[in-house]
A and B are shown apart, each in its own frame.
Chain A
Amino acid sequence: MNLHEYQGKEILASFGVRIQRGIVAHNAKEAVDAAKQLTAETGTGWHVIKAQVHAGGRGKGGGVKLAKNLKEVEEISNQIIGMNLVTPQTSAEGKKVHQVLIAEDVYYPGDSETNEFYMSVLLNRATGKNMIMYSTEGGMDIEEVAENTPHLIFTEEIDPATGLLGFQARKIAFNLGLSGTAFKEMTKFVAALYKAYVESDSNMFEINPVLKTSDDLIMAVDAKVSIDDNALYRRKQYAEMRDLREENSIEVEAREVGLNYVDLDGNVGCMVNGAGLAMATMDLIKMAGGEPANFLDVGGTADAKRVEEAFRIILKDPNVKAILINIFGGIVRCDRVAQGVVDAYKNMGDAMKVPIIVRLQGTNAELAKEIIDNSGLAVHSAVQFQEAADKVKEVLAE
């Protein structure tokens, strides 16, 4: 589950990680009030207005701007709130901005130069251990750093039995070229950050940039935080942070009825049991000349009710020109699924306008084919995987 910057920072701060402070605003008036309050609390003169959407590269799309006075705070907030922010990580239509974070200016002049670093905490799948990845090259696209100057990216793997050790935190601070107060600040920052990662059940922290201020403080200026969905049952305070407006509405609806659905751009909808078979079915649709409109795993219990719910979800996508149902019946009997398809089809009546190809394999597959073929409905049936692909090709050519 992805969080907004302001929510991620809230979590970090609760574990003692120093953050660039800020207040969320939903309109220009709130923004001005927030700016005043922030000045009173932090002494900041300027303010940074940051669009709160689930996408990186916000600055590139004009979603992060500096305001040098309250009039600019108002103007910029008016501009950003309500806009469709397009960044390299959004679709061409962009993401609607519902709220902004009014943040303190942390790039103030002082005794030393400011310096930006990159830091993330994530799972190393190859070793099954968490690691801290960091770089002297902060504030820029880390993929580019990895491409052009891979020697400037460091990793530190954490032993789950001991957690982050003191010498590891010191190594990170040394590798980032720090000394004196900034060095000590960085070791504290890293220790708090790792603690936050573990205790929040996150599966991704990305802090870019981590800033060394001109008075040698170390702080998170941005925060990309993702919490492990499987752990939300024991992190209820974070589960409440889910912002459904940031997610695809069909996907949200599917999740509510227990279906695993991912919206895609194609024209052939699919309904499959099992994630691997669902991906393989999508691949087969592509090979048959179509484009998958979705990923949809109906899970192990594909009864009539679930089939109907899945139909409704798929048909919400106006681009769907055909639907391929691919169920490998094991514990679930194919004849039951076939009856479910027939019943759902009849129940939905006129809503069902697109051709449907049903491929049921496994327990009672032949019986299932008979049920489909004798139903009198415009449903094409197949038993073999390749047959299903050929039928998709035929239907798309019509």
Chain B
Amino acid sequence: MSVLVNKDSKIIVQGFTGSEGTFHAEQMIEYGTNIVGGVTPGKGGQEHLGKPVFNTVTEAVEKVGADTSIIFVPPAFAADAIMEAAEAGIKVIITITEGIPVADMVKVANYIDKRDCRLIGPNCPGVITPGEAKVGIMPGFVFKEGNVGIVSKSGTLTYEAADQVVRQGLGITTAIGIGGDPIIGTTTKEAVELLINDPDTECVVMIGEIGGQLEADAAQWYKASGSKKPVVGFIAGETAPAGRTMGHAGAIVGGSDDTAQAKKRIMRECGIHVVDSPAEIGMKVKEVMG
């Protein structure tokens, strides 16, 4: 088992023929991901990387039964691409694009709220279910199959965590990069919930950052759920000063309750195994899984 994506997902690439889309689509196909085609408006009818290109997402849904999309469309057009996917009936929309205006995401959040779909990202590394599907830009070889789920706001820190877990002789069910923007589709809480409810996931690693309330919400949900599955947590940005944005638009300390210290305190109170050092994530997972 796994969550969000697996070997049966029928995945299309939006922004398929662009340089980013092409490069990562090749990598995903090489990994063995079930890419069934792509969308580039105006290039419908062509073939790219041996897969059909469609003008619209609706066409891709009708002709090849696409149910999952990964978006590499440039920031100015990405919000439109997300809403097109939602309207076409795509169930899992994974948006890699970085730099989408916040006002556009306000519209997207409102639009998809009323539709039966799940948005991951934007500004995220994507989702990987090792051995089945890599729907993202992460280095596939780092993620070995296993029973640990990962939820993270950051790309390379996700790879770091996965690498540490694998070095302990363990592996990953699904790793979900939720993104570091102020407005994202799937929250930490929702991603943790998916993994806690996945029968094959025996432990969840939750990696957050300064700014916002997502980790606190997830921690409180976890406590209330009464789940016995252990959760290991880390929050990056203990040393970041207040009021300065640290790379991710969402990583900014606004008040006293979104500092790394405050988040870690809440997570500990909710029964999460919090590590202070990012070098100890893997060891902690090994320890709590016995």
Contacts and interface: CB of A to CB of B under 8 A. Distances in A.
Q: Do chains A and B stick together as partners?
A: yes
A126 B188 CA distance: 12
Given A228-B101, A277-B154, A328-B159, A125 B109 contact: no
Nearest to B248: A275
Contacts of A386: 277, 279-280
A228 B103 contact: yes
Given A231-B102, A280-B157, A264 B248 contact: no
Contacts of A284: 277-279
A40 interface: no
Interface in B208-225: 209-210, 212-213
A130 B250 contact: no
Contact of A125 (B155, B209, B213, B234): B213
Interface stretch (A23-31, A94-102, A187-195, A285-293): A285-293
A295 B210 CA distance: 14
A123 B183 contact: yes
Nearest to A296: B247
Nearest to A251: B244
A276 B209 contact: yes
Interface in A272-324: 272-287, 291-292, 295, 297, 300
Contact of A280 (B27, B160, B212): B160
A230 B101 contact: yes
Contact of A279 (B101, B210, B279): B210
B238 A363 contact: no
Interface residues on B, range: 35 or more
A276 B142 contact: no
B236 to A, nearest CB: 4
A331 interface: yes
A340 interface: no
B173 interface: no
Interface of A is mostly: mixed
A71 interface: no
B102 A203 contact: yes
B240 A282 contact: yes
A283 B139 CA distance: 24
Contacts of B239: 264, 279, 282-283, 285-286, 291-292
Nearest to B185: A128
B25 interface: no
Nearest to A130: B106
Given A279-B209, A286-B239, A228 B102 contact: yes
B22 to A, nearest CB: 13
A234 B76 contact: yes
Nearest to B276: A287
Contact of A277 (B102, B137, B157): B157
Contact of B247 (A128, A230, A231, A279): A279
Contacts of B99: 230
A295 B156 contact: no
Nearest to B23: A331
A160 B106 contact: yes
Contacts of B106: 123, 128-130, 160
Nearest to A198: B103
A201 B103 contact: yes
Contacts of B182: 123, 125, 203
A285 B277 CA distance: 10
Given A125-B182, A362-B142, A262 B246 contact: yes
Interface in A223-251: 228-231, 233-234
A230 B100 contact: yes
Contact of A231 (B103, B163, B210): B103
B247 to A, nearest CB: 3
B246 A275 contact: yes
A174 interface: no
A367 B241 CA distance: 36
B236 A283 contact: yes
B237 interface: yes
B274 to A, nearest CB: 13
A107 interface: no
A300 B247 CA distance: 13
A114 interface: no
A275 B180 contact: yes
B247 A295 contact: yes
Given A330-B138, A330-B156, 7 more contacts: A276-B155, A276-B251, A283-B276, A284-B278, A330-B139, A363-B139, A386-B279
29 contacts: A125-B183, A125-B213, A126-B213, A128-B109, A129-B109, A129-B110, A160-B107, A228-B102, A230-B100, A260-B247, A262-B245, A274-B154, A274-B247, A276-B152, A276-B153, A276-B180, A278-B247, A279-B237, A279-B246, A284-B278, A285-B239, A295-B247, A328-B160, A330-B156, A386-B277, A386-B279, A386-B280, A389-B277, A389-B279
